[in-house]
Amino acid sequence: MGLTSHKVLALAILAAVLVTAATVWLWPRLARTSWRSVLGRIGALLVTQLTVLCALALVANNYFSFYSSWDDLLGRGNQGPVTVQSGTGAGGDNRKTAGAVVVQVLGQEAVQGGGVVGRDPGRVGRIDSVRIPGPASGLSTDGYVYLPPQYFHPDRQHSRFPAAIVLTGFPGDARNLITRLNYPGAALNLMATGRMQPTVLVLMRPSPAMPADTECEDIPGGPQSETYFAKDVPRVVEGSYRVAADPHAWGVVGDSTGGYCALKLTMRDPGAFLTGVSLSGYYKAAEDATTGDLFKGSEQRRNEADLLWRLKNLPNPAVSVMVAGTAEGDGGYRQQTDAFVAAVRPPMTVATATLPSGGHNFRTWGRLLPPALEFLSQHLKVPPG
């Protein structure tokens, strides 16, 4: 049974209830002063706490989708060689040559939005569950690709579409972007009201080297995450779907760690992305037990991963970004964001979207999602031809 299986959760809760009940029932017998009784009480408390903690951990994991499988939890996920395919690939409507590296389609998900739930691509679009290989980085990870309804319309069968990489926070599952934030549904609603152009969304985690948090950094002697997102993902998606191969047509949006990555990739790789949106993102690479030594002792690399340092010490790139968050309730976000906005200089432009209050959570990001997608759509442009 899978880690997120309802059966596993039910068994864990049942075990916690039974062990707790047994401890209460047996406690009078364990109340003696013999060494056996003392050890019995210690054992009963440990087993009770262990089963209750396991049940709570499973409830939290099912709610937040931190880990999607036992292999994911234990760090045994498939991070091996890239998958190379040739042929028609995803949907049979791709431009490829023999031996091209394309996404591997693993399945499809239902779309919820526009007042309907369904799998009719002409009405709601389509969500492909995919594995995206990285020929340049050697990395590979799973995610989702949302194709808007217009992608399947007969009069658009030769059209190329703009695209955006959508990144979760760390260590969230890419599925959160469907189940908790519902990017496809939000995009569908905005497209139905004319506030967003039809756009392909590539929904992913911010680290292709789980369980490590790579902060979208090319780590010396380690995972090349920036290369994966800035070079591999656009190239492979462009070779698998009808997506425009131009930085004007590509953007990045994300929350928390994904928000930091969205700004970082846009500012450091304008040859790949010219638009970025950060939802409650931070501005300096995290360094903790999950990241390890990202910079291998290089102060220069650490500085270059600090977005405020880049604005003050390097030429500002000709990109457009939005920083979205709350005025109160999210720690030092407001102060850090004010400093970032004040440091932006032409030709770079920055817009803001601010809620009066709210925490660092899905509820806040869900409220910020419509203006974020509208901003993204206003700046994505597919060149003619």
pLDDT digits (tens, 9 = 90+) for 317-374: 999 999 999 999 998 999 999 999 999 999 999 999 999 999 999 999 999 999 999 9
Q: What pLDDT is stored for residue 120 in this prediction?
A: 87
Res. 152: pLDDT tops 60 = yes
Q: What pLDDT is stored for residue 83 in this prediction?
A: 26
User: Residue 237 falls within a domain, yes or no?
Assistant: yes
Q: What pLDDT is stored for residue 160 in this prediction?
A: 96
Q: The domain containing residue 37 runs over which residues?
A: 6-64
User: Residue 153 falls within a domain, yes or no?
Assistant: yes
Strands 349-355 and 320-326 come out as parallel
Res. 61: pLDDT tops 70 = no
* CATH number for position 321: 3.40.50.1820
Spatial contact of 272 and 247, defined as CB atoms under 8 Å apart: yes
| Domains held by the chain: number | 2
Confidence of residue 99 (pLDDT cuts 50, 70, 90): low
Res. 242: pLDDT tops 70 = yes
Same domain, 224 and 365: yes
User: Residue 385 falls within a domain, yes or no?
Assistant: no
pTM (two decimals): 0.77
Same domain, 268 and 125: yes
Res. 87: pLDDT tops 50 = no
Confidence of residue 90 (pLDDT cuts 50, 70, 90): very low
User: Residue 72 falls within a domain, yes or no?
Assistant: no
Same domain, 172 and 34: no
Same domain, 225 and 336: yes
Res. 106: pLDDT tops 80 = yes
Q: What pLDDT is stored for residue 80 in this prediction?
A: 35
**61 vs 315, which has greater pLDDT?**
315
Residues 292-298 have a mean pLDDT of 92
Q: What pLDDT is stored for residue 84 in this prediction?
A: 25
Nearest to 151 by CA among 129, 126, 186: 126
Same domain, 233 and 315: yes
Same domain, 268 and 175: yes
- The CA distance from 232 to 216, in Å, is 13
Q: What pLDDT is stored for residue 246 in this prediction?
A: 95
- Residues 6+ away with beta carbon under 8 Å from 96: 86, 87, 88, 89, 102, 239, 240
* Amino acid at the residue 223: P
**116 vs 359, which has greater pLDDT?**
359
Same domain, 269 and 128: yes
Residues 206-214 have a mean pLDDT of 93
Strands 275-279 and 349-355 come out as unpaired
Residues 175-187 have a mean pLDDT of 95
Res. 56: pLDDT tops 60 = yes
Mean pLDDT over each residue of the chain, to the nearest integer: 87
- For the purposes of burial, counting CB atoms within 10 Å of the CB of 158, is it exposed (0-12), middle (13-18) or buried (19 or more)? exposed
Same domain, 10 and 97: no
Same domain, 282 and 363: yes
**240 vs 27, which has greater pLDDT?**
240
Q: What pLDDT is stored for residue 116 in this prediction?
A: 63
User: Residue 185 falls within a domain, yes or no?
Assistant: yes
